[in-house]
Amino acid sequence: MVVDFESTDSTRSGKPLRHVQTAVFPTPVKLRHGGLLPGIEVAYETYGTLNEDRTNAVLICHAISGDSHLAQHDEHDEPGWWDGLVGPGKAVDTDRLFVICSNVLGGCRGTTGPATINPATGIPYGSDFPLVAVEDMVDAQKRLIDLLGIERLRAVIGGSLGGHQTLCWATRYPKHVQTAIPIAGSARVTSQAIAFDVVGRNAIQTDPHFHGGQYYGTREFPDTGLALARMLGHITYLSSEAMTRKFDLDRHAPRDMATDFEKRFSVGSYLAYQGEQFVGRFDANSYVSVTLAMDNFDMGDTRGKRLEAFRSAECDWLVISFSSDWLFPPGQSRELVSIMTTLGQPVSYCEIETDGGHDSFLLPDDIEAFGPLVAAKLGAPKPHPPRKSAEDDRIFDLIPEGSSVLDLGCGEGDLLGRLKERGAPLLCGVEVSTGLIAATMQQGVEAIDCDLNVGLPEFDDGRFDYVVLSSTLQVVPNVERLLEDALRVGHRAVVGFTNFAHRTLREMFGLEGRAPKAPGSYSFEWYNTPNRRFPSIRDMLDLCEKMDVTVERARYYDDTHGRVIGDDEDPNLAAETALLVLSKNSR
């Protein structure tokens, strides 16, 4: 078996960009860390058409090694680094949207950076290029957006370092961003992530051909140092599972290639190839400049500081993370979501299950997974109006108009979609399935990926008028904790469940000697059911009494015959399902 050298770098090259444009800003630019540039140029590309009222513009921000060429312009064009996400009919649909992507300040693909001629000396800046911050990158993009006559961006989207730029846009220019989508990002990088970058920069700056950063007029560049830095980067972009899958089968069968780097193992030949490919398209000084910008990005080292940093944002959010990303762990994204919910900012969140590591935001299979979330957030047409069901009808009628609602286990968001159509001021769904989160978002409702087994830490006390748990309590291990949390987050909880003491189920167990089944939540076989609990109405009422929870309203239903069961008919025997409206006595 031959080592697979395929990576997210495979389609990129240092060839001239056929569709690049350059914006020139001749006035001095003061930088965040005190440096000064006499003027800057910004290289950018655009896709799609700007509409007449200039409201369909989307800015996409690239990661460390990216550039303005995020997608192909036509079949004759070179591949872009986000072709799977951006283009006609794709998640970022250029048939509807006008997409802009610029090379970052400090980069090496057309925007002012270390390789740019310093007008004061007549030679490239090299290591004299001033220290650049993510804020400076965003300020340069803002100049470009102003030049294009765009007052407010429909969205800003970015992964990794692009996620940092996205967060910065939303908080630095809040009135100019409608939607922000940070992917695999964070409020600050971890010390471990900085450590890898430090080693990479050391490899570059101690290369004998670095010459203090002034290597541009020499015959040899610091290619060894840059290649080593890129190899180290690739290790951080992949997960342990991805490396095992990619290299363990032929660990001792490296591909034969001409290189001075070690190639004893298959992973070694892969890293050598990636490093040497990278030096053909990137500048070592730019690598130092851009990684320093990422490492210095910091929205606060405490929750309090981060709350203040995000308080200015006025946009709605979609935050995406990847389960195997150890460079920007999902916990960092969940922390962002917690801050946004605390501040009352509309936010959706999803953690994509994948073994792709940090690179997942660029991988085709993972783009296919999170693309529908992005499309929904950008207002892709609904596939269908909210569907109706008998259970949703009953819950819908129990919730007064104008109430804010959190739906735990919201499915495809049909109930929330109906409440939105009725004018509910604040709605949110909770699910764990990426597909269900996307379906809920298609209803125009925020949805958050949250493991109900750990409660509701993302939500503050009294955030909602009603919390809905429809066929949800029976699947969690700690019913009491979730019910307590629901009544902490909401003023009332609507709990719907199948009554396991219904006559038919009793007969199935007592007379037939078989594990009872019922339509809906209890339709599974005993050996494949996701349910952990099998409560009766009486069990649920006993639990409420034990927890000092008031049952404000109770509705019992004979679903088979489509009728309401009265209290005088022994609901615990006659009712198939129940709905309870609960509140906490201490409120």
Identified catalytic residue from 7, 160, 338, 360 = 160
pLDDT reported for residue 152: 99
Question: Residue 1 — very low, low, confident or very high, per pLDDT cuts 50/70/90?
Answer: very low
Contact 585, 548 (CB under 8 A): yes
pLDDT, residue 6, reads 62
Pairing of strands 464-470, 405-408: parallel
Dump pLDDT digits (tens) for 342-391.
Answer: 999 999 999 999 999 999 999 999 999 999 999 999 998 877 888 988 99
Q: Is pLDDT at 204 greater than 80 in this prediction?
A: yes
Where do the CATH 3.40.50.150 domains begin and end in the chain? 382-584
148 burial type by CB count under 10 A (0-12 exposed, 13-18 middle, 19+ buried): middle
What's the distance, Cα to Cα, between the start and end of the chain in Å? 66
Question: Is 160 among the residues known to form the active site?
Answer: yes
| Lookup: tokens for 113 | 């950076």
Q: What pLDDT score was predicted for residue 477?
A: 87
For the segment 114-135, the average pLDDT, to the nearest whole number, is: 98
**Cα maximum dimension of the chain:** 95
Block residue for tokens 């917690």? 338
Length of the chain: 587
Q: What is the mean pLDDT of the chain?
A: 94
Centre a 10 Å sphere on the Cβ of residue 434 and count the other Cβ atoms it contains: 18
* Domain 42-376, architecture per CATH: 3-Layer(aba) Sandwich (3.40)
Token pair recorded at residue 377: 């957030």
Residues 179-183, mean pLDDT to the nearest whole number? 99
The closest of 327, 228, 339 to 284, measured between CA atoms, is 228
- Please check whether residue 174 is in contact with residue 311, taking contact to mean a CB–CB distance below 8 angstroms: no
Q: Which residues contact 507 (CB under 8 A, 6 or more apart)?
A: none
The catalytically annotated residue of 69, 164, 358, 502 is 358
* DSSP-derived 3-state class of residue 50: coil
How many Cβ atoms are within 10 Å of 533's Cβ, its own excluded? 14
Tell me what pLDDT residue 2 has.
45
CA-wise closest residue to 270 among 5, 584, 579: 5
Q: Is 98 helix (H, G, I), strand (E, B) or coil?
A: strand
Q: Is 206 helix (H, G, I), strand (E, B) or coil?
A: coil
C-alpha–C-alpha distance, residues 278 and 267, integer Å: 17
Residue-wise pLDDT for 411-442, tens only, equals 999 999 999 999 999 999 999 999 999 999 99
Query: Looking at the chain, which residues constitute the CATH 3.40.50.1820 domain(s)?
Result: 42-376
Encode pLDDT of 529-568 as tens digits.
888 889 999 999 999 999 999 999 999 999 989 999 999 9
* Structure-block tokens of residue 111: 């925007």
Upper half-sphere CA count for residue 254 (Cβ side, 13 Å): 17
- Statement: the pTM of the whole predicted model exceeds 0.75: yes
Average pLDDT over residues 302-314: 98
Active site residue 348: no
CA-nearest of 316, 370, 381 to 96 is 381
Out of 325, 366, 407, 414, the active site residue is 325
Task: DSSP letter for 130, please.
Answer: P
% of the chain at pLDDT higher than 90: 80
Residue 367: other Cβ atoms inside 10 A: 20
pLDDT for position 259: 78
Give me the pLDDT at residue 3, please: 46
Asked if residue 518 lies in contact with residue 576, where contact means CB atoms within 8 angstroms, the answer is yes
197, amino acid identity: D
Tokens representing 16 are 């001239």
For the structural domain made of 382-584, what CATH number should be given? 3.40.50.150
Q: Could you tell me which residue, 485 or 249, shows the higher pLDDT?
A: 485
CA separation for the pair 466, 403 (Å, rounded): 7
Structure confidence at residue 7 as a pLDDT band (50, 70, 90): low
What integer is the mean pLDDT of 84-108?
98
DSSP 8-state secondary structure symbol assigned to residue 184: S
Token digits of residue 261:
């780097």
Q: Compute the C-alpha angle 412/415/421, nearest 5°.
A: 110
Q: Which of 78-82, 456-460, 507-511 has the highest mean pLDDT?
A: 78-82
Cα angle vertex 499, ends 526, 544, to 5°?
115
**What does the pLDDT look like over 235-273, one tens digit per residue?**
999 999 999 998 888 887 777 777 778 888 888 888 888
Q: Is 252 a catalytic residue?
A: no
Residue 294 · residue 104 · CB < 8 Å: no
Under DSSP, is residue 439 helix (H, G, I), strand (E, B) or coil?
helix
Q: How far apart are CA 474 and CA 453, in angstroms?
A: 11
Distance CA 161, CA 279 (A): 20
* 3-class DSSP string for 249-292: CCCCCCCCCCCCCCCCCHHHHHHHHHHHHHHCCCCHHHHHHHHH
